[in-house]
Amino acid sequence: MIGKAIRLERIMNRNTGRTVVIPLDHGFSMGQIEGLGDMPRIIADISDGGANAIVLHKGMVKAGHRKHGRDIGLIVHLSASTSLNPDPNDKVMVCTVEEAIALGADAVSVHINLGAPHESRMIEEAGKVSRECTKWGMPLLIMIYPRGNGIDPHSPQAIGHCVRVAEELGADLIKTSYTGDPESFRKITSACSVPVLIAGGEKAADIESLETVREAITKGGCAGVALGRNSFQRENPKEFIQALCSVVHENKDPKEALKL
């Protein structure tokens, strides 16, 4: 497992054991959305802001390769769907672990929606990816959410179930929704043997986003964040990510972080 350990060092901060990941895979599902028109520029802002890693689909790796500036970890996303599909929760595989290795990835990620009609296929495919990741020494980030008819997407029981499924599949990192309550979230993270990251969701106010992150880390036991639209759709993404990294890695108060 030395390959996994080496690659994870490029994603996780050695001193804090935490990470700031900025997903940039939204174009596949949502089209030409605000903030992702100039990929080299936004990736440069993200890396200069101090983020640990970005998430890209395979076709955007070459578009986002800057050839200059601060290095940043690369996570290649393997699964996808579009918002035009009647069931956007139906994720299919569009890339392989071997393709990601050829692209220079430090990790790969897959998406699972528990409770969705095609849950069983998504779990099966994630299991195959996990096997390939073990074979090649590639870290696996599983993005997993409770989504389906009658399911509360912020239920601690449902989110806890998601985390357990990802852990049992062999995830090295898990991204899921925050319950909104640090006490219930700590019960989830304390029962999990791998780092759990919270998702960002839709864009919120600067201070509101940072306070949620700080609460989830200091009281909820989460190991970092994966903030997409909440980061790259800011008026100044670089400055917001600098503040975000100071909250995650330096335990800064959100108001102080924004002032700095």
The Cα–Cα gap between 243 and 254 comes to 7
- On whether the 2-259 domain is CATH 3.40.50.620, my answer is no
Tell me if 71 sits within 8 A of 46, measured CB to CB.
no
Tokens 């689909």 correspond to 57
Position 204 scores a pLDDT of 72
- Between CA 225 and CA 20 the distance in angstroms is 5
Quick check: 68 and 62 in contact, CB under 8 A?
no
- State the pTM of this model: 0.95
> 45 by DSSP, 3-state: which?
helix
- pLDDT tens-digit profile of 200-224? 866 678 889 999 999 999 999 999 9
Pick the catalytic residue: 106, 145, 206, 238?
145
Q: Is-catalytic flag, 178?
A: no
Given 91, 106, 175, 206, the catalytic residue: 175
Predicted local confidence at residue 66, as pLDDT: 62
pLDDT at 122: 97
- The Cα–Cα gap between 228 and 145 comes to 16
Q: What angle do CA 227, 9, 122 make, to 5 degrees?
A: 55
Domain boundaries, the chain: 2-259
Closest CA to 18 of 246, 255, 254, 260: 246
Q: Which of 61, 65, 63, 67 has the alpha carbon at shortest distance from 108?
A: 61
**Strand 92-93 to 79-80 pairing:** antiparallel
> What parts of the chain have a pLDDT lower than 70?
65-67, 201-203
Known catalytic membership, residue 175: yes
Beta-carbon contacts of residue 223 (< 8 Å; ≥ 6 apart): 12, 17, 18, 19, 173, 189, 195, 196, 197, 217
Q: Quick check: is 145 catalytic?
A: yes
